[in-house]
Amino acid sequence: MIAMDNLNGERRRQGRIEVICGSMFSGKTEELIRRLKRAKFAKQRVEIFKPSIDTRYSEEDVVSHDQNAIRSTPIDSSGNILLLASNIDVVGIDEAQFLDEGLTEVCNRLANNGVRVIIAGLDMDFKGVPFGPIPALCAIADEVTKVHAICVKCGALANISHRLVANEHRVLLGEQEEYEPLCRDCYQKTLQIESDQQEATPAKK
């Protein structure tokens, strides 16, 4: 017998993991919110989580750069998701790169129990290095959507979030004042320019 959703008559989907990844300003959160709102419209039980560290637009809401928002629960650890996501059809997780590596196992357990898990996050940090649990989540996902920003220098598809401020900490929350999306070629050229400028600047005594 086919299980049917209570109101819309659609076949109930089996548990699955969907990852939405890419650089900053590529529309990851926008796409996450779109999918979650569609699930809510279908009368599915939805719970949304985000790292408590991300307070750029709101301490509780998941908010895109275009100011679209949806209510969420801030968490400090991926393990909190299992405690808070009982009797849920769909789990959404934003800015997943800031969560711990245990998120991969948490998402697997949820999907194996019939939950649809939708994750959005940066796949690389500002140096182009794979970021947090996102690479592992891409490996186990049923579906991976790679979204792209537009390079601010040449208009090609961007793949990296270039940091504009002098700060080597891997985690630095910011917006357009701190980051810009660049394509691979423009990023390499920018790194060379920055290197030349550093060499030309006299060292402080």
- pLDDT 10s digits, 44-56: 999 999 988 865 5
**Would you state the pLDDT for residue 179?**
86
Q: Find the range with the poorest average confidence among 18-32, 34-48, 117-131, 168-182.
A: 168-182
* DSSP code, position 140: H
Q: How confident is residue 9, by pLDDT bands cut at 50, 70 and 90?
A: very low
Q: Where are the domains of the chain?
A: 16-148
Token pair, residue 128, equals 């182009």
From the centroid of its chain, how far is CA 200? 37
Burial of 93 (0-12, 13-18, 19+ CB in 10 A): buried
43-49-51 Cα angle (round to 5): 170
The catalytically annotated residue of 18, 31, 95, 180 is: 95
**Would you state the pLDDT for residue 6?**
46
Q: In what order do the strands lie in the sheet with 143-147?
A: 73-75, 46-51, 90-93, 116-122, 16-22, 143-147
**Would you state the pLDDT for residue 2?**
39
Residue found under tokens 């970021």? 131
Over residues 138-188, the pLDDT tens digits come to: 999 999 999 999 999 999 999 999 988 766 665 565 455 688 999 999 999
pLDDT at 203 over 70: no
Q: Find the range with the poorest average confidence among 7-16, 138-147, 194-203.
A: 7-16
pLDDT at 121 over 70: yes
Q: Is 60 a catalytic residue?
A: no
How does the average pLDDT of the chain come out, rounded?
A: 83
Q: What are phi and psi of 145, to 5 degrees?
A: -110, 115
**Would you state the pLDDT for residue 14?**
82
Q: Which residues pair with 59 in a beta bridge?
A: none
69/114 Cα distance (integer angstroms)? 26
Token pair, residue 84, equals 């808070």
Q: Are β-strands 61-63 and 179-182 bridged in parallel, bridged antiparallel, or unpaired? A: unpaired
Does 16-148 carry CATH code 1.10.3720.10? no
